[in-house]
Amino acid sequence: MELRKEYVNELARLMRENDKIVVLDADLAGAGGTKPLYKEFPDRCIDVGIAEANMACIAAGLAAEGFVPFIHSFVPFVARRALDQIAVSVCYSEQNVRIVGFDPGVHTTSNGGTHMSFEDIATMRAFCNIAVLDVVDGVQLRKALPYIVEHKGPLYMRFVRKQTDELFDESYQFRFGKADKLADGDDLTIVASGTMLFDALEATKRLQGEGYSVDLLGIHTVKPLDEEAIVASARKTGRVLTAENHSIHGGLYGAVTEVLSARCPTLCDAVAVRDKLTQVGSLNDLKRDYGLTADDIYVRAKKLLATK
């Protein structure tokens, strides 16, 4: 199922249980998938028009009165256009606003260039007290939502609207701030967030086929990061490769190396966007061009393994 459908179905269920949840859109209720909620909850769904800064502050006002507003748009509009509003009226003001960004990084595809953002994790992560989530699939999204409603403090999450790949099954349990261990090994640690987890899994299988044992950590909560899991894995393997659909500056690679440099200095490398302008293209072409494929993970993993 498309993530936006998983999202809206679960949000509708939660809205039936909890009359404090409010949905705000900035003229993308149709594209983002929240439109059906407007019929069932006309009072608690608000389309502010093309005015993301206004939306962030309206949400802050609602949150100040005890509501749990979810604001939505494409990543750069909800997370970048409204950055000062998020900094001051949401984060500094300690309001329980949920900031939901659609189609992170390369997933913007044909809307790329202006609509593509590789810096959202870095900017959000730098704000005090905000939680930052990079979601991999629909099951994870659905299982995370009940927690997201209850979380205390601001929260930013990004996911792909239309993606249909599935990693987890119904037995999956979402644990905020905890890594998902997807493979256990001693030779190399791969830490991947969001949809890069699919590629990381593929690369891991290939490496395993060659006889390497890989510790694979899936990260949905980039902040607060599961430091213990990362340090424990780095101690075991001595080599860490991160993979993220984001700039190499300040995202998952930044978060992981901040922890390791202080607690367990380890040789690391990153599969991430290396200071390259945003652009349009098909998903596969963009992934190849930015070096975000399973192949890229495999090649960098082999280079790290060769240093042992």
222 binding other proteins? (CB under 8 A):
no
CB 47 → other proteins: shortest distance, Å? 10
Which one, 76 or 185, has the nearer CB to other proteins?
76
Which one, 61 or 177, has the nearer CB to other proteins?
61
287 binding other proteins? (CB under 8 A):
no
- Distance between CA atoms of residues 111 and 93, nearest Å: 33
**By rule CB under 8 A, what string of x and - marks binding of each residue 10-29 to other proteins?**
------------x-------
Select from 15, 29, 33, 44 the one that contacts other proteins (CB under 8 A): 44
CB 65 → other proteins: shortest distance, Å? 3
Which one, 58 or 229, has the nearer CB to other proteins?
58
With CB under 8 A as the rule, give the number of residues binding other proteins: 30
Of residues 79 through 118, those in contact with other proteins by CB under 8 A are 84-85, 87-89, 92-94
62 binding other proteins? (CB under 8 A):
yes
Helix/strand/coil (H, E, C) string of the chain? CCHHHHHHHHHHHHHHHCCCEEEEECCCHHHHCCHHHHHHCCCCEEECCCCHHHHHHHHHHHHHCCCEEEEEEEHHHHHHHCHHHHHHHHHHCCCCCEEEEECCHHHHHHHCHHHCCCCHHHHHHHCCCCEEEECCCHHHHHHHHHHHHHCCCCEEEEECCCCCCCCCCCCCCCCCCCCEEEECCCCEEEEEECCHHHHHHHHHHHHHHCCCCEEEEEECEEECCCHHHHHHHHHHHCEEEEEEEEECCCCHHHHHHHHHHHHCCCEEEEEEECCCCCCCCCHHHHHHHHCCCHHHHHHHHHHHHHCC
58 binding other proteins? (CB under 8 A):
yes
Which one, 46 or 268, has the nearer CB to other proteins?
46
60 binding other proteins? (CB under 8 A):
yes
128 binding other proteins? (CB under 8 A):
no
66 binding other proteins? (CB under 8 A):
yes
Select from 63, 121, 252, 286 the one that contacts other proteins (CB under 8 A): 63
Under the rule (CB under 8 A), what is the footprint of other proteins?
Answer: 22, 43-44, 46, 48-49, 51, 53-54, 56-67, 69, 84-85, 87-89, 92-94
